[in-house]
């Protein structure tokens, strides 16, 4: 035996063993990417370097042998720097999206590609569970979310983005129609948390905290839970029966919901803090913003959310026949379409820019127009004019578009001396909403008048009191922002209750350069949208406008997904190693060659743009299987892994044993799974045994929500059995 020291620890290793073997034997981690015990050492990736005392050069531990008295450091500054550079070089030549852009652009980081793919495969229950990992109210959010995910969807570069939001609503509706999924709850922790506000933020925090075993009570000032989803969104867009059902599921996780409880009247933040281990303030923004326009105080001038709330509560404000709505966002659309449904004959939307700059959802803008709403673009209220204290007309300043402002939209500027007057019975100001500051006097507010909350930890000026959502920092935003914040806040609160730190570092992921992606081979297929009620029917009723996707439509739409995110994301060794180092591959951008070739057969998919030329596939095919189906082709920067003469795998001697896929440390080689649409899923792998020709043989079985997705040969017997994946799969599907 050889005696050596690794990271200060005395280690013994067999004569002739490598430093890597010695370290692994002693439980010391050294990253490797081109090494596997099954094949000869190659020494290509440079990740396994270590520093040996007295030796000037760093050693590759996968090939350097141990010697008596060696003193090794596997984590010295020099070693870390060297690995970092090696990793940056590998990553700069690696062209792949670890995570799909749709997911990255969702403020709650919902796995859009995952659930869209599962819907395409008809796996609706799995899709719903995946969504509910991030959104507890998907049927509601699917109906109302302005879907930032779709803005980033790559399918727009072919023709139109995937209808991700409606697919979410479809999966959630399927669940609500059946026996709804209620997640498991961990054993009780004995910790109590009070949440003030039962809107999307408060309910989300409650749902995930309850699942962690905490005792959660939500206090809300209104008669029913739901916050702005209930009191700010009209029935025709989000039927409250849908919201009620989703809230009932949250309640089933053990959350206590208390209504008609008002902060400052029934309790204070401090009184709740005394009775609980933590308090989350999620009170929202319930005050309509003012336009500071002359005549705003006149009777008949209403705030947008006040108006919507009055209708939802069944006591609509008096609006008369001629109504003007000021604003261009979704609240303005909700207000104008509600006014139409209340019987107003002339409904105007006054907006100071043009249709192209309107922040409202395009569908809403179009549907409102179909219902008879008239847009007054490039106009801005100069004054609201009244008779006997009641509004009777608006003087509008005519505008034109000037240079772009900070938001990138062209700034509207007044056309001097040009005005217009329209007669109105009421005006609705839908230009934003604010926190009611009097409610939260106990907390420190920022210069905008919102609660100051730490952006990572959500802590406030009172220890143990956290704050999220519209009431904090930058103020009101869309519901999915509040939901994403609530999910992150749950982690912060749980860590606080357990006295541990929260990880705030954003782990590295690889992203493709959008401009280099070629979509020319994609067949154009229009986006599907659910059928809607006819304008002349819906403008008289508060019935839901959208009829939702049928199963066939949902599957067809979901099948348009381009599958942007990497299928190997959950088990990618390259990514795992990359995330250990603070890398910046951008600095080598353009210096490393990019390789593009794709090939697939029934079981294996090859994508050379993700290949790091570790050679494991080539060596395993040659040394272990003795098949030589693939090789390293070309030289230098032109080197590529491919079958001889760049033939498809199916035209080689490849027997689809899958060993190369198993050893590939990246998503360059992937084993397809047993569903028509391939989706990145957090599969659970287990080694299991089957009998092949009377012999016990090992296979790796991957399952997702109990369904067998892949069965991969895992020893000589199964690899050489000649059995197809279907035959192997059958052994399990028959048993499952
Ligand atoms: S192979 Fe790994 S690093 Fe590359 S895109 Fe896939 S998950 Fe990301
Ligand atoms: S095509 Fe699919 S995976 Fe790609 S961004 Fe769109 S929904 Fe996401
Ligand atoms: S395809 Fe082969 S050479 Fe490329 S990363 Fe995978 S195993 Fe390594
Ligand atoms: S060089 Fe040693 S593992 Fe790659």
- Architecture of the CATH domain 101-182+509-558: Orthogonal Bundle (1.10)
pLDDT(592) > 70: no
**Could you tell me which residues are beta bridge partners of residue 451?**
445, 472
Atom of ligand 1 nearest to the CA of 509: 8
**Mind listing the pLDDT tens digit for each residue in 84-143?**
999 999 998 899 999 999 999 999 999 999 999 999 999 999 999 999 999 999 999 999
In this prediction, residue 668 has a pLDDT band, given cuts at 50, 70 and 90, of: very high
Q: Is 575 in the pocket of ligand 1 (CB under 6 A)?
A: yes
pLDDT for 640: 83
Q: How far is the CA of 20 from the centre of ligand 4 (A)?
A: 9
Q: Which among 99, 101, 111 is the best mutation to test ligand 2's pocket, defined by most ligand atoms within 8 Å of the CB? A: 101
**Mind listing the pLDDT tens digit for each residue in 617-646?**
999 999 999 999 999 887 777 788 888 778
pLDDT(736) > 70: no
Per residue in 78-117, is it b (16+ CB within 10 Å) or e — as a string? ebeebbbebbbbbbbbbbbbbbbbbbbbbbbbbbbbbbbb
- In degrees rounded to 5, what are phi and psi of residue 88? -65, -40
- Architecture of the CATH domain 192-286+434-498: 3-Layer(bba) Sandwich (3.50)
Q: How far is the CA of 97 from the centre of ligand 1 (A)?
A: 6
pLDDT for 734: 57
In this prediction, residue 70 has a pLDDT band, given cuts at 50, 70 and 90, of: very high
pLDDT for 440: 95
Q: How far is the CA of 624 from the centre of ligand 3 (A)?
A: 16
The DSSP element (H or E) to which 433 belongs, if any, is strand 433-434
Q: How far is the CA of 105 from the centre of ligand 1 (A)?
A: 18
Fold of 2-92: Ubiquitin-like (UB roll) (3.10.20)
Q: How far is the CA of 64 from the centre of ligand 4 (A)?
A: 10
440 burial type by CB count under 10 A (0-12 exposed, 13-18 middle, 19+ buried): buried
Which residues line the pocket of ligand 2, CB cutoff 6 A?
Answer: 100-102, 112-113, 116, 153-155, 162, 164, 561-565
Ligand nearest to the CA of 563: 2
Q: Is 33 in the pocket of ligand 4 (CB under 6 A)?
A: yes
pLDDT(594) > 90: no
Q: How far is the CA of 392 from the centre of ligand 1 (A)?
A: 63
In this prediction, residue 409 has a pLDDT band, given cuts at 50, 70 and 90, of: confident
Ligand nearest to the CA of 568: 1
**Mind listing the pLDDT tens digit for each residue in 182-239?**
999 999 999 999 999 999 999 999 999 999 999 999 999 999 999 999 999 999 999 9
pLDDT for 507: 92
In this prediction, residue 591 has a pLDDT band, given cuts at 50, 70 and 90, of: low
pLDDT for 730: 86
State the pairing for strand pair 640-643/390-404. Answer: unpaired
Nearest to 115 by CA among 708, 669, 554, 674: 554
Q: What are the residues whose beta carbons fall under 8 Å from the beta carbon of 440, sequence distance 6 or more?
A: 263, 269, 281, 283, 451, 471
pLDDT for 170: 98
Q: How far is the CA of 670 from the centre of ligand 4 (A)?
A: 22
CA-nearest residue for atom 4, ligand 2, is 564
3-state helix, strand, coil in the chain (%, to 5): 30, 20, 45
The larger pLDDT score, comparing residue 642 to residue 563, is at 563
Ligand nearest to the CA of 611: 3
Average pLDDT over residues 577-593: 82
User: 580: phi > 0 → left, psi -120 to 50 → alpha, else beta; which?
Assistant: alpha
Write the class of the CATH domain 302-429.
Answer: alpha beta
pLDDT(14) > 90: yes
The DSSP element (H or E) to which 476 belongs, if any, is none
In this prediction, residue 700 has a pLDDT band, given cuts at 50, 70 and 90, of: very high
Q: How far is the CA of 378 from the centre of ligand 2 (A)?
A: 35
Q: Is 697 in the pocket of ligand 1 (CB under 6 A)?
A: no
Q: What are the residues whose beta carbons fall under 8 Å from the beta carbon of 321, sequence distance 6 or more?
A: 343, 344, 345, 346, 425
Q: Which among 114, 153, 528 is the best mutation to test ligand 2's pocket, defined by most ligand atoms within 8 Å of the CB? A: 153
**Mind listing the pLDDT tens digit for each residue in 249-285?**
999 999 999 999 999 999 999 999 999 999 999 999 9
Q: Which among 118, 150, 151, 564 is the best mutation to test ligand 2's pocket, defined by most ligand atoms within 8 Å of the CB? A: 564
Q: Which among 566, 570, 680 is the best mutation to test ligand 1's pocket, defined by most ligand atoms within 8 Å of the CB? A: 566
pLDDT for 590: 67
pLDDT for 723: 86
Q: How far is the CA of 258 from the centre of ligand 4 (A)?
A: 59
CA-nearest residue for atom 2, ligand 2, is 561
Query: Do 53 and 71 touch, CB atoms closer than 8 A?
Result: yes
Question: What is the C-alpha separation between 448 and 452, in angstroms, rounded?
Answer: 10
Domain 592-672 in CATH 3.30.70.20: yes
Q: Is 649 in the pocket of ligand 3 (CB under 6 A)?
A: no
pLDDT for 593: 59
Cα 424 to chain centroid distance, Å, stands at 44
Q: Is 47 in the pocket of ligand 4 (CB under 6 A)?
A: yes
CA-nearest residue for atom 8, ligand 3, is 614
Q: Is 612 in the pocket of ligand 4 (CB under 6 A)?
A: no
pLDDT for 292: 93
Question: What is the C-alpha separation between 429 and 398, in angstroms, rounded?
Answer: 18
Q: How far is the CA of 685 from the centre of ligand 3 (A)?
A: 21
Q: Mean pLDDT of all residues in the chain?
A: 94
pLDDT(6) > 70: yes
Percent of the chain with pLDDT over 70: 99
pLDDT for 271: 97
CA-nearest residue for atom 5, ligand 3, is 611
The DSSP element (H or E) to which 380 belongs, if any, is strand 379-387
Q: Which among 610, 611, 661, 678 is the best mutation to test ligand 1's pocket, defined by most ligand atoms within 8 Å of the CB? A: 610
In this prediction, residue 656 has a pLDDT band, given cuts at 50, 70 and 90, of: confident
């Amino acid at each position: 035996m050889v005696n050596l020291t690794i990271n200060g620890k005395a280690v013994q290793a067999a004569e002739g063993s490598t430093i890597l073997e010695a370290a692994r034997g002693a439980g010391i981690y050294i990253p490797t990417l081109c090494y596997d015990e099954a094949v000869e050492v190659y020494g290509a990736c440079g990740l396994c370097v270590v520093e040996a005392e007295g030796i000037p050069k760093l050693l590759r531990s996968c090939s350097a042998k141990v010697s008596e008295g060696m003193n090794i450091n596997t984590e010295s500054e020099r070693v870390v720097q060297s690995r970092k550079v090696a990793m940056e070089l590998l990553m700069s030549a690696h062209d792949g999206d670890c995570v799909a852009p749709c997911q990255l652009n969702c403020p709650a980081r919902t796995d859009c590609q995952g659930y869209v793919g599962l819907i395409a495969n008809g796996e609706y229950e799995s899709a719903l569970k995946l969504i509910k990992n991030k959104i507890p109210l998907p049927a509601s959010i699917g109906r109302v979310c302005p879907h930032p995910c779709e803005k980033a969807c790559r399918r727009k570069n072919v023709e139109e983005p995937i209808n991700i939001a409606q697919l979410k609503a479809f999966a959630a509706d399927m669940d609500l129609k059946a026996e709804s999924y209620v997640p498991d709850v961990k054993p009780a922790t004995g910790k109590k948390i009070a949440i003030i506000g039962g809107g999307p933020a408060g309910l989300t925090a409650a749902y995930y905290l309850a699942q962690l075993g905490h005792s959660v009570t939500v206090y809300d000032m209104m008669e029913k839970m739901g916050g702005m989803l209930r009191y700010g969104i009209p029935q025709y867009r989000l039927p409250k029966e849908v919201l009620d059902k989703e809230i009932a599921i949250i309640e089933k996780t053990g959350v206590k919901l208390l209504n008609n409880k008002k902060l400052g009247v029934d309790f204070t933040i401090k009184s709740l803090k005394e009775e609980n281990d933590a308090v989350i303030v999620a009170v929202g923004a319930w005050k309509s913003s003012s336009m500071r326009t002359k005549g705003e105080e006149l009777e008949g001038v209403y705030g947008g959310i006040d108006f919507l709330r009055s209708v939802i509560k069944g006591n609509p404000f008096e609006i008369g026949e001629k109504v003007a709505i000021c604003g261009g966002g979704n609240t303005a659309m909700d207000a104008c379409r509600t006014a139409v449904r209340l019987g107003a004959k002339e409904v105007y939307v006054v907006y100071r820019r043009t249709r192209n700059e309107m922040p409202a959802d395009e569908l809403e803008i179009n549907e409102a127009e179909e219902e008879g709403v008239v847009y007054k673009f490039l106009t801005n209220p100069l004054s609201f004019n009244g008779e006997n204290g009641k509004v009777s007309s608006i003087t509008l300043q005519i505008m034109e578009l000037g240079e772009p402002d900070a938001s990138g939209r062209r700034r509207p500027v007044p056309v001097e001396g040009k005005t217009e007057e329209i007669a109105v019975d009421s005006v609705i100001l839908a230009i934003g909403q604010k926190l009611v500051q009097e409610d939260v006097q106990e907390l420190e507010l920022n210069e905008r008048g919102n609660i100051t909350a730490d952006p990572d930890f959500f802590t406030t000026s009172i220890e143990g009191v956290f704050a999220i959502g519209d009431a904090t920092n930058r103020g009101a935003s869309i519901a999915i922002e509040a939901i994403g914040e609530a999910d992150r806040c749950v982690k912060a609160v749980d860590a606080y209750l357990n006295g541990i730190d929260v990880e705030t570092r954003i782990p590295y992921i690889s992203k493709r350069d959008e401009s280099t992606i070629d979509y020319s081979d994609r067949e154009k297929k229009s986006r599907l949208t659910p059928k809607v009620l006819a304008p002349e029917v819906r403008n008289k009723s508060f019935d839901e406008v959208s009829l939702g996707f049928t199963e066939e439509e949902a599957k067809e739409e979901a099948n348009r997904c381009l599958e942007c995110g990497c299928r190997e994301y959950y088990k990618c060794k390259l990514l795992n190693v990359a995330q250990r180092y603070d890398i910046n591959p951008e600095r080598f951008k353009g210096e490393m060659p990019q390789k593009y070739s794709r090939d697939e057969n029934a079981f294996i998919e090859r994508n050379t743009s993700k290949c790091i030329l570790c050679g494991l596939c080539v060596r395993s095919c040659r040394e272990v299987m003795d098949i030589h189906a693939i090789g390293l082709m070309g030289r230098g920067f032109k080197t590529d892994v491919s079958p001889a003469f760049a033939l498809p795998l199916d035209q080689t001697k490849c027997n689809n044993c899958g060993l190369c896929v198993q050893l590939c440390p990246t998503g360059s080689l992937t084993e397809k799974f047993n569903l028509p649409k391939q989706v990145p899923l957090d599969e659970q792998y287990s080694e299991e045994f089957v009998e092949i020709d009377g012999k016990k043989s090992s296979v790796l079985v991957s399952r997702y929500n109990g369904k067998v997705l892949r069965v991969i040969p895992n020893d000589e017997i199964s690899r050489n059995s000649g059995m197809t994946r279907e035959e192997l799969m059958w052994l399990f599907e028959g048993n499952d």
